[in-house]
Amino acid sequence: MDLQVLRSFQAVAEGATVTDAAAEAHITQPALSRALNRLEKEAGAELLQRVGRVLQLTPAGRVFKEYVDSVLDSYDRGLRAVAEVVDPDAGVVSVAFLHTLGTWLVPRLVTGFRESAPKVRFELHQDGEIGLVQHLLDSTADLTITSKDPGHPLIAWRRLLVEPLWLAVPARHRMAQRQRVRLAEVAGDPFIVLKTGYGLRSVTETLCRQAGFTPVVGFEGEEVETLRGLVAAGLGVSLIPASSGTTAGEGNPLLPIRYLEVTDVDAARDIGVACLASRTLPPVPRRFMDHALSATADSRGPLAPGV
């Protein structure tokens, strides 16, 4: 069976039209239709059925697609491995990462790695915690850089660093002239948080519970910079990663914000790198993972019990 037919079947199964899949394969639409029919004859079952104007997988097609995905993924990884044997300094690293890490950690790691491997290309994806897990399970990323261990049986996670969190308050907030604060002291304030599914949201809720309260959500955003802007506007308080280089009490002069150290709970989050436990990483992604662990070796802090 031609691998291109399997790729076309995969594309149609994932929502592409036969016309678009044929164009991608550089063949005519009737030719691709005939090829898909031959594939169904070889499989001995109807794999696709027309529902309205689109083709959808049959139950047999869903089972078959799992194996097609595995075959194509193995073949593509084989091509990558051969290319990296031929030229060890080239290759591709596919990394998915949290939105909040795209302004500092990921650029720092990529820049440092490319100093010794300038020919390596990066495919980068941003997502929330749930999406990062799916990137690994779907093999659309070699590695993810995320916060806490996802706790998935198929995923191996290693800590890179411990990132402090500050409590950001408006410049005119009643606590703004202080350097430190107990999180419980702002239990009645509205919290500006990221949407559900983002790691920082779950960390915020966990820390508030540890401080003895459930946060009142004033706004849900998708970017940390949005949280900063709304805190500056006086709409609430927020737990903000200290990754931007801010220190307690200091803020961006363009934003009237104060950053306070939290003293009653351990206001920090783990940042780690994850990959599929059962998959052998290609050489270049493996080297990048080793680089990430080495580059952050002094920033990990003590391991929690059982980690």
Mean pLDDT of 194-202: 87
Confidence of residue 39 (pLDDT cuts 50, 70, 90): very high
| 205 neighbors 215 (Cβ within 8 angstroms) | yes
- pTM equals 0.68
Residue 277 has pLDDT above 90, yes or no: yes
Of 223, 207, 204, residue with least CA distance to 264: 207
Q: Say which residue, 296 or 83, is predicted with more confidence.
A: 296
User: Is there a shared CATH topology between the 3-84 domain and the 91-160+270-299 domain?
Assistant: no
- The structural architecture, per CATH, of the domain 3-84 is Orthogonal Bundle (1.10)
Residue 16 has pLDDT above 60, yes or no: yes
Of 60, 91, 4, 75, residue with least CA distance to 282: 91
Write down the domain spans for the chain: 3-84, 91-160+270-299, 162-269
Q: What pLDDT score does 272 carry?
A: 95
CA–CA dist 100, 225 (Å, integer): 9
| 168 neighbors 231 (Cβ within 8 angstroms) | yes
Q: Which fold has domain 162-269?
A: D-Maltodextrin-Binding Protein; domain 2 (3.40.190)
What is the percent of the chain where pLDDT is above 90? 59
Q: What pLDDT score does 208 carry?
A: 97
Residue 161 has pLDDT above 90, yes or no: yes
Mean pLDDT of 204-229: 93
For tokens 């990048």, the residue is: 288
Q: What pLDDT score does 245 carry?
A: 45
Mean pLDDT of 12-40: 90
Options 1.10.10.10, 3.30.70.60, 3.40.50.12280, 3.40.190.10; CATH for 91-160+270-299 is 3.40.190.10
Q: What pLDDT score does 302 carry?
A: 40
Mean pLDDT of 224-249: 81
Confidence of residue 282 (pLDDT cuts 50, 70, 90): confident
Q: What pLDDT score does 160 carry?
A: 95
* Mean pLDDT (the chain, rounded): 87
Tokens of 36: 């898909």
Confidence of residue 301 (pLDDT cuts 50, 70, 90): very low
